[in-house]
Structure 1
Amino acid sequence: MKTALIHDWLAGGNAGAEKVLFELLATLPGSPIYTMVYQPEDFRGTPLEGADVRPGLVQRLPRGVQNYRTYLPLMPYAVEQFDLTEYDLIVSSSHAVAKGVLVGAGQLHLSYVHSPIRYAWDLYQQYLREANLTSGVKATLAKMILHYIRLWDSSTANRVDVFLANSEYVAQRIWRTYRRPARVLYPPVEVSRFDPARPREDFYLTMSRLVPYKKIDLIAETFSRLGKPLVVIGGGPDWEKVKALAGPNVQLLGRQPDEVVADHMARCRAFVFAADEDFGIVPVEAQAAGAPVIAYGKGGTLETVIPNRTGVFFGQQNVESLARAVRLFEEQAGAFDPRVSRQNAERFRPERFRQEFGAIVDVAYRARQAGEDPERAVLNLPLGVQVEPA
């Protein structure tokens, strides 16, 4: 079985989607990886170093690697230029255009969807507001482009044989957007690199790319008002905004290596997470380090944080709601057992991801070979069942 992997782009950092790609490559070793752009220096020391990565049309455009997002209107065309006719199995890892690759009738296409294109669907109005594109000629052009992308994105759902979603939350959005069912396969989390047994210290922690929807500005403002110590790890376009809201009790460390992140997670009093996230790997990492989580009660965190056992939720993305959650956490701080948090995080180990994904591939391929529906076969596969390789 000849296999190929498709990923939207490989530039700008190593985040949760890329960690999924590493595990897909580990399960299907030697598969070439097709992508819009590839910046090798961002992936030194990762499984992509030395892998067969094949960037596409956008890589060859002026400043394509540095400014690849500006070429979004061209990406539907660009992803359709990959020639995948020699492969039996195609696995796309998609939060933008990867699922739209062209496939033949005899090929099997599994698409692991991190999210339908958020800035074209769920975050459409928010994206336009934050980009100051609510009126004028530029706004009209942006709306027309996103309208075209929605039409293209909807049409490409028929190119996928089996949808895999990274959470129940995303599976619901796949159904709403494409009217297709999706099998949930939670992303892999490297829980083994965190130590849950270290003593807790008197500071709160948050970590993320500093982009608007992550709401790090909200966390900084809340803790500045509360006067409680907060450490912020991460960099991005919202740096100055967060810095302006940060009081003397808020420490901004910028981007930090993995060992510094793990050290802070092992020592923090609690981890704070305010994003409406599709899954949210970082709150799981915090639990792997034994840290309770104070999280916005929407999206993937509802599937990864156990209320009043591994964390507490707040209901609205505003200062008052988050502040109430912090006070509630402090009232019951002694109720959170690091061992329970670690046990909860163990559900997302990479070994579990590889086993489940391998079983899904086997079942889908067998169904296709037998002339049966691979989607139905995958949806009917019980969780945790090991299937002998074909």
Structure 2
Amino acid sequence: MLISSHLFAHHARIRSATVDTTSDTPKYVYVHTPARYIWTPEYDPRGQGRIVRSAAPAFRAIDRRRAAEPIALAANSRFVRDRIARSWGREAVVIPPPVDVRAIADVATWERQLSDDDRRVLDALPEVFVLGASRFATYKRLDLVIDTAERIGLPAVIAGRGPDEAALRDRAVNARTPVSVIASPSDALLRGLYRAASVLLFPAIEDFGIVPVEAQVVGTPVVTGPVGGQLETYDPGVTGVTATGRSPRELAEATSTALDLP
């Protein structure tokens, strides 16, 4: 069995109608993370409710027992490897996930794929702006992109899709600096936003962080907080800057530094 797991897929077993083949089936698991909401609820709002917190110890015991079954584990970052060790007491080899850097670097090809609407969006962007790109979900902390842009007096662009879209649009309308929310951008448009941005601000505590890798392909520096797998994807002081914390003040200081990178 080859399993990709970020919640409980590693619990999978193979059974026939008459024979339990679990003990005879080798299992190899690529781990994006042990389930955050039971192991690191401080990083996942789903784990912070009273019901989940009360049930978490039982789920952790089951999860740790089932995580002992695979022959080998791979983690998508050193950050996740260390979480696996703490959560499951297992070692894992680090295998970063694939990122299609060739397609992103092939600017001529993806520019031809821009629709007329995409081009109008790009043409309307300010010359200098801060980009936040990810799923519109609370733990991604795109609100901090807007807060930071306000603090340094620059426009912000928020790109992605997800359940927090309405809240982000409300925050954008009331911001003290221009904020554009671009929902469900095409791949070509997202790459255009990476290229046009002055800096990518990525406040999330991420297991790996593909978005910062994609932005760097087209030469855009990244700014992240001080915790997470995304720290493994850029060269501090060269292609990105690590903020000392995730407050708007700390992120603004790091963003100002990133804007001066060559």
TM-score of the two chains, using structure 2 as the length reference:
0.83
Tell me which of 244, 256, 260 is aligned to 2:189: 260
Deviates more, 1:227-236 or 1:303-312: 227-236
Deviates more, 1:290-299 or 1:97-106: 97-106
Residue 128 of structure 1: how far off its partner (Å): 5.9
Q: Give the whole-Å Cα distance in 1 for the aligned partners of 2:164 and 2:104.
A: 28
Tell me which of 18, 31, 34 is aligned to 1:113: 31
Q: Give the whole-Å Cα distance in 1 for the aligned partners of 2:4 and 2:245.
A: 31
Q: Give the whole-Å Cα distance in 2 for the aligned partners of 1:215 and 1:151.
A: 30
Secondary structure at the counterpart of residue 68 of structure 2: helix
Alpha carbons of 1:120 and 1:165: their partners in 2 closer, same or farther (altered >3 Å)? same
Q: Does 1:100 align with 2:11?
A: yes
1:310 corresponds to: 239
1:13 corresponds to: none
Quick one: which amino acid aligns to residue 101 of structure 1? A
Instruction: Mark the runs of 5 or more structure 1 residues left unpaired by the alignment.
Output: 1-89, 134-138, 336-390
Report if the CA contact (8 A) 2:41-2:47 is conserved.
no
Q: Does 1:189 align with 2:99?
A: yes
Alpha carbons of 1:266 and 1:219: their partners in 2 closer, same or farther (altered >3 Å)? same
Alpha carbons of 1:303 and 1:197: their partners in 2 closer, same or farther (altered >3 Å)? same
1:232 corresponds to: 158
Q: Give the whole-Å Cα distance in 2 for the aligned partners of 1:145 and 1:160.
A: 25
Q: Give the whole-Å Cα distance in 1 for the aligned partners of 2:44 and 2:74.
A: 26
Q: Does 1:212 align with 2:132?
A: no
User: Structure with the greater relative contact order (CA < 8 A, sep ≥ 6): 1 or 2?
Assistant: 2
Task: Count residues with an aligned counterpart.
Answer: 235
Q: Note the alpha carbon deviations across 1:244-281, whole angstroms, 9 max, x for none.
A: 33224111111211111011112211111111101001
Alpha carbons of 1:125 and 1:309: their partners in 2 closer, same or farther (altered >3 Å)? closer
Instruction: Mark the runs of 5 or more structure 2 residues left unpaired by the alignment.
Output: 15-21, 109-125
Deviates more, 1:321-330 or 1:277-286: 321-330
Residue 230 of structure 1: how far off its partner (Å): 1.4
Quick one: which amino acid aligns to residue 106 of structure 1? D
Task: Write out aligned runs for 1:1-390 (5 A).
Answer: 90-102=1-13, 104-123=22-41, 127=45, 133=49, 139=50, 141-195=51-105, 201-246=127-172, 247=175, 248-330=177-259, 332-333=260-261, 335=262
Q: Give the whole-Å Cα distance in 2 for the aligned partners of 1:164 and 1:125.
A: 21
Alpha carbons of 1:158 and 1:128: their partners in 2 closer, same or farther (altered >3 Å)? closer
Quick one: which amino acid aligns to residue 221 of structure 1? D
2:19 corresponds to: none
Residue 216 of structure 1: how far off its partner (Å): 0.3
Q: Give the whole-Å Cα distance in 2 for the aligned partners of 1:108 and 1:241.
A: 46
Secondary structure at the counterpart of residue 67 of structure 2: helix
Taking only the aligned residue pairs, the percentage that are identical comes to: 33
Q: Give the whole-Å Cα distance in 2 for the aligned partners of 1:173 and 1:125.
A: 12
Q: Note the alpha carbon deviations across 1:152-195, whole angstroms, 9 max, x for none.
A: 11110121110000001100110111111001000000111223
Residue 297 of structure 1: how far off its partner (Å): 2.3
Q: Give the whole-Å Cα distance in 1 for the aligned partners of 2:141 and 2:53.
A: 24
Secondary structure at the counterpart of residue 291 of structure 1: coil
Report if the CA contact (8 A) 1:195-1:290 is conserved.
no
1:386 corresponds to: none
Report if the CA contact (8 A) 2:145-2:203 is conserved.
yes
Alpha carbons of 1:311 and 1:181: their partners in 2 closer, same or farther (altered >3 Å)? same
Alpha carbons of 1:195 and 1:125: their partners in 2 closer, same or farther (altered >3 Å)? closer
Secondary structure at the counterpart of residue 27 of structure 2: strand
Q: Give the whole-Å Cα distance in 2 for the aligned partners of 1:323 and 1:225.
A: 7
Residue 114 of structure 1: how far off its partner (Å): 0.1
